[in-house]
Structures are given as structure tokens and as C-alpha cells.
Amino acid sequence: MPEFSLTPEDVGERLDRYVTRQLPTHSRAYVQHLIDEQQILVDGRATKAGYRLRASDRISVSLPPPKPLGILPQPIPLDILHEDSYLLVVNKMAGMVVHPSPGNASGTLVNALLAHCTHLSGIGGFERPGIVHRLDKDTSGVIVVAKDDATHRGLARLFADRQVKKRYLAVVQGNIRDAEGVIDAAVGRHPVHRQQMSTHTRVGRQAVTEFRVLERFGLYTMVELRPRTGRTHQIRVHFAEAGHPVVGDPVYRRRGALAPSLEAPRQMLHARVLGFAHPATGASVRAISELPPDFEAVRKRLRGAR
């Protein structure tokens, strides 16, 4: 049963927000459900999700065992970059959803993993076995998966403590003025369009993205991205609201664009590098995914137009 003691910075925060930060693999809605079910206690007593924390509080969390998997294994080919007894690192193709959800019950990365592995961690729940972090459906590249609960917790701590090295590549609209820089703007739910994220939000979480220009194509720019945080749609929102939406992004491409949209098969965002200290062995793990053919084709087309 995980138990947490507060720091001075935590005092006054809502209970559900605090626990969600401590358990980054669980959604806030799931944490609120646990509070309602009295699985999360403050000093041994049940309370409400909106309870404001005090300095002396001790929070205990009882995570119920994962439900039996109702997801069918599917023999979908996987591009595995690293695998051992504790985890595997996969090069996810664009167009593949990470885990089942309404409208995407099959053909996901989880379906493929269940056909490949005999065991996956259950911390993420029966719909997300092994899933520590996610990539958008149309983002390609490197993702790590945990085979057991201890490894899952270790990886989640590394992500929460910003000890995972992440490098993305993107082609964005417009000619970015600076050769490198940092975008520091909190990201949260859009105040009107609830399925989207935005920096113009009532309640946002810190989001920081470093960037470096790799190549200029006149009206478009290829950048390397180093997100210090991992908020939902962080890179896409940061660059769209700076006037440089990711080429091919179907959601954020119209927001403040400084160049005409470029036809692309999907959003030109690729998770190229993932590096971390193995939570079980301490060994350095570094996986690299080269540009997929559809991304490379867009880059060659831009070079030719230039």
C-alpha cells in the first residue's frame, strides 16, 4: 500500500490532484473513483476529492488488483528495439493506437503486446497493461513497456522525476526565427473545446519544451525537440500556439499558423530517442528510432521545393 508524506509545497493542494501527481500512470478520474471507494485515506480516514491537504496529513493508497484482461491478443508485427525480462522498448508505427478505447477495441499496441508477451504489468489497469507512457496515434517512434509491476513503478518514477531522456523530431509550419529556444507555458484542458489542450486554460500544469532548428525549408522548419515535461499534446500545443503547428496535425494546425498548411500523410512528429537508467538493473538503456519512410518522404519533398 503506497503511503505519502507531504512537503511544504503540497499543503493546500486538493487531494485528488496530489495523488494523481504521485501516481502518474493513473488518470485523475480514476484517482477520484478510488477516493469515492475509500481506497485513498487521509490519516486513516475517508474524505472527499476536494479535501485541502494539511502539513501533518499522511495519505495512504490501496490499489485494487487489476481486472482480468478482456483484450484479445493479436499477432501484429512489432519493431522491438530492446527487450529483457523486465521491459521492452518498441518502435511504434504511425497510425497505431497505444491501448484500446471506445472506437479502437483492436489493432492497438496492447493487442500486439499481449500476443508477444506472457506477462505485462497490471498497474495501468486491465485496458492498459504494461503502458507507462503514451504516444499519440499518429506520432511514430519509441515507447517503453513494463512487464511487471515493480518495473512499472520504477519507470513511472523516472518519468515523474524527469530522469528520462526524450528527443523528438518534427516538421512545423513557418520559418522559426531563433536557432534554438525554450517554450515554457502551462498546458491544460481547452476552456471551450474539451477534447483539446491549450495554454489558454483555467487550470494548467507546467510544460516546458526545448527546441533546436535542424533544417529550414523556407516556409517550413525541421526541429529537434527536448520536452522536459510530458503533458498531453504538449509539443503540438506549444508550437501551434506559437504560430508553428506541426505539419499534418489535424487538430491544432489552424491555430495561429504563420504558413500555409502542407499536405502530409499524418502529423510530422516522431519520438526518435528514449534513454533512461534501467529500474531493475541500473544499466543505461538508449533506444533510437530512425525516421520512418513517410516522414523522410516529406523531408525530401521540402528539400526539393527549396
CA-only gyration radius of the chain, Å: 20
d(CA 160, CA 89): 19
Q: Say whether both 247 and 148 belong to one domain.
A: no
> Is 136 a catalytic site residue?
yes
Match 477534447 to its residue by C-alpha cell.
195
Provide the β-strand partners of residue 208: 184
Domain count, the chain: 3
pLDDT digits (tens, 9 = 90+) for 159-189: 999 999 999 999 999 999 999 999 999 998 8
Residue ending a domain, choose from 116, 144, 161: 161
User: 106 and 144: one domain?
Assistant: yes
Whole-number mean pLDDT of the chain?
90
Query: Catalytic: which of 10, 16, 57, 136?
Result: 136
Which of residues 16, 39, 61 is at a domain's end?
61
Q: What is the pLDDT of residues 210-251, one digit of tens each?
A: 999 999 999 999 999 999 999 989 999 999 999 999 999 988
The CATH number covering residue 198 comes to: 3.30.2350.10
pLDDT value, residue 305? 79
Question: Which residue range forms the structural domain that includes residue 105?
Answer: 70-161
Q: How far is CA 198 from CA 87, 113, 236, 254, in A?
A: 33, 32, 10, 13
- Residue 303 phi, psi (nearest 5): -65, -40
Q: Are residues 206 and 103 in the same domain?
A: no
- The predicted model scores a pTM of 0.76
Do 90 and 194 lie in one domain? The reply is no
214 shares its domain with 301: yes
* 179 and 301 in a common domain: yes
Q: How confident is the model over 58-80, as pLDDT tens digits?
A: 999 988 765 545 688 999 999 99
Model confidence at 128: pLDDT above 90 = no
CA distances (Å), origin 122, targets 127, 153, 219: 9, 11, 46
